[in-house]
Amino acid sequence: MDFFEHQEVARKKSHVLIFYFILALAGIIAAVYGLAIAIEMFTGSGDLTWWQPELFIMTAGGTVAVVFLASTFKTMQLSGGGEVVARELGGREVDIHTTDYHERRLINIVEEMAIASGVPVPTVYVMDSEDSINAFAAGRTTSDAVVGVTRGCMTLLTRDELQGVIAHEFSHILNGDMKLNMRLIGLLFGILFLALMGELIIRSAFRGSRHTSRNKDGASAALVIMLAGVGLLAIGYIGSFFAKLIKASISRQREYLADASAVQFTRNPDGIAGALQKIGGLKAGSSVAHPMAKDASHLFFGNALSSSLLATHPPLSDRIKRLVPSWNGEYSAVSLPPITEKEDRRRSRERPAPDSSGSSLPGRSLPGMFLDGGEGKVHLTDEEAIESMSALHPEQIQLGEEIHASIPEHWIEACHTLSGAQAIVFTLLLAQDESLRNAELSRLRQDTDDTTYQVVSDLFSEIRNIHSAVKLALVDLAIHSLRKLSSGEYQRFRKIISDLIHSDKRIDLFEFTLLNIVTRHLDNYFEHQSPPRIKYRNLRSLSNEAGIVITTLAAMSHPDDDNAIQEAFRKASNHIANTLGTEISFKSAEECGLDHIETALEKFAKATPTVKKHLLEAASKSVMADGAISSREAELIRAMADAMGCPIPPFVRTAVLI
């Protein structure tokens, strides 16, 4: 399966989760009703019969209300994204400018994986008080995702082992598991909340009994309250059982999938298998001592809890044998890291300075790009293009490493600062046409200051001709820093980029889609926007919007050649007709204005992953009509995909089609 199919499976798992949740709620309601009957019998009040409709309705309504309110509270709390979970687990955000060897290595691996995946760089957290080997990914979308690791994971693993663990966590991000796992935390909190209520009631009753011990009526009331508290605590354990059952049923197969995906990404089973073997050989294993771990146990790379009953993860030995069938069953001994680590040579290569003429592409010599004569052409078959964007391959991981290593140091430093990240985005939004660009720069000078104007002008001469993979990598790196803007600073930044691309009264399609990428990710983050609800489940309901997108791509790919435009559109429309039996019509230039494109992308953002997949396959057929995909075409497809909420990796020629 590919990203889109995995996301579809995860989406359908949400329905299974709700079904299990309703079953658990029904069991808890029955237990609460039984507790109410027991209290009546103990106190001698009421009808003293087992079936009391009014009492049942009251207890059922009260239980549902408590569980619903608790789940809603937790879900609202989690609207802050993965950072909320990371902080609750005792995580510390790693400074992007860190000079610590292990932290720098971790940041590099996460940035490389993000570039390879085509997603914004997640914020990285370290759980300093945890010496075990474990990791997690949390967030509602790629806009607010975080990756967290324990200190043991960061310091005790080799680079290949750590890369395997991070690849496992990125699999959860890309396959839709992360969103499902966050929803699981919110729903299950309502079930577990009854146990918290029981504890509070017992403590309250115990304190009250000390003051009313000489008063018979008061003592009896305290005893009844104590009984209610003990009952709710017991019911809470029932809820805990159901919670573990639900997490185990949802998580186990997804962990096997993430392990397999990590191997597919890295083509190195020894990396992730080595990490699992070290967990088995480490006294602390993968256990997490933080109290929050029991609520978030299904997020982790390994079993965070010592109990094996209804564990959220498969047995360690089973996971290793699936990765390395020849494993002899012995776990690796783990020693403390050296006091002084050697420099990570692979990451310390000298970064090239950009050619002052702007003609040198940092991505030109990258393995797997197959650039043609400096024109930014990637020669792929239709099948390779579709395969390249629907799954992450070792070639793309290698490409992510190479892009990260080849980006000039001052570009990286710019992406890591608030002012520099804004300047990078301003630069990428500048028009290629000189007269239009001068108008944009003039507006930028009015809206900002002379220093920002000069920095952007200088950067443009360096960045203007770089490959699309590098451009979008810079965006992914910059968004991480832009999340650090204050609310007021973000509103100013948003206004400037909007004014910047509207200043010449003409908006380039790539500028428009890039603007959508930046604002979508940052709006999601700053405004805590929920992921859009699924509204469209087949392409037939979006045939008009599909026609707009495909016509636009065909026209952008073959300007001034009507026959080539028609042929590109025909290939895409035939693919949709043959695959889905749905017809799409060619649109006029007036029907493909930017406002129409924006509406089309907004609707596709509310479509199922399968619908998005069919559109992107048709898009690839359109731009591949001439047997190659240019840098500009790749920019557009990837930018449009990101604007729809399904970022795709860079296009590469894959050695093996999986």
Question: Looking up tokens 């395969």, which residue turns up?
Answer: 387
The mean per-residue pLDDT over the stretch 419-443 comes to 89
pLDDT band at 201 (very low <50, low <70, confident <90, very high): confident
User: Residue 504 has what pLDDT?
Assistant: 62
Report the 10 Å Cβ neighbour count for 330: 9
Mean pLDDT of 441-447: 90
Q: Which two tokens stand for residue 128?
A: 């300093």
For residues 173-198, average pLDDT: 84
pLDDT at residue 82 tops 80: yes
Instruction: Tell me the mean pLDDT in the region 512-537.
Output: 86
- For residue range 26-35, what is the model confidence (pLDDT) as tens digits? 888 888 888 8
Give the residue with greater pLDDT, 373 vs 558: 558
Residue 124 dihedral angles phi and psi, to the nearest 5°: -110, 135
Give the single-character DSSP code of 311.
-
User: Hunting for tokens 């019509």 — which residue is that?
Assistant: 585
pLDDT at position 221 is 63
d(CA 515, CA 497): 8
Lowest mean pLDDT among 13-22, 343-352, 444-453: 343-352
Examine the pLDDT at 145 and tell me if it is beyond 90.
yes
Bridge-based pairing state of the strands 146-150 and 135-138: antiparallel
Q: In 3-state terms, what secondary structure has residue 378?
A: strand
Q: Which residues of 176-212 are buried (b: 16+ CB within 10 A; e: fewer)?
A: bbbbbbbbbbbbbbbbbbbbebbeebbeebeebbeeb
Ranges 215-229, 352-366, 431-445, most confident: 431-445
At 628, which amino acid appears?
A
- From first CA to last CA, the distance across the chain in angstroms is 9
8 Å CB contact between 167 and 253: no
Residue 206: the pLDDT is 62
What's the confidence (pLDDT) of residue 106? 97
- Could you say which of 161, 169, 511, 633 is catalytic? 169
Residue 587 predicted with pLDDT over 70: yes
pTM of whole model > 0.75?
yes
Q: Is 169 a catalytic residue?
A: yes
* 143 pLDDT above the threshold of 60: yes
Looking at the predicted structure, is the pLDDT value of residue 641 above 70?
A: yes
- From the list 599, 644, 613, 620, the residue with the least C-alpha distance to 554 is 620
Q: What is the mean pLDDT of residues 163-178?
A: 92
Q: How far apart are CA 151 and CA 134, in angstroms?
A: 9
DSSP 221-232: HHHHHHHHHHHH
Digit-coded pLDDT (tens) for 320-351: 999 999 999 999 888 888 777 765 544 444 44
What is the crossing angle of helices 631-643 and 609-623, to 10°? 170
Tell me which range, 36-40, 304-308, 319-323, is most confidently predicted by mean pLDDT.
Answer: 319-323
Beta strands in 363-486 (DSSP E): 377-379
Q: Which of 159-168, 199-208, 386-395 has the lowest mean pLDDT?
A: 199-208
Q: What is the pLDDT of residue 615?
A: 92
Query: 314 or 92: which carries more pLDDT confidence?
Result: 92
| Residue 159: predicted pLDDT | 94
Confidence class for position 36, pLDDT limits 50, 70, 90: confident
Nearest CA to 11 out of 535, 637, 546, 644 is that of: 535
Write phi, then psi, for 645 (nearest 5 degrees). Answer: 90, 20
Q: Provide mean pLDDT across the span 287-304.
A: 91
pLDDT at position 337 is: 81
Distance CA 22, CA 338 (A): 52
| Rounded Cα gap, residues 168 and 171, in angstroms | 5
Burial of 588 (0-12, 13-18, 19+ CB in 10 A): exposed
Rounded to an integer, the average pLDDT of 387-411 is 86
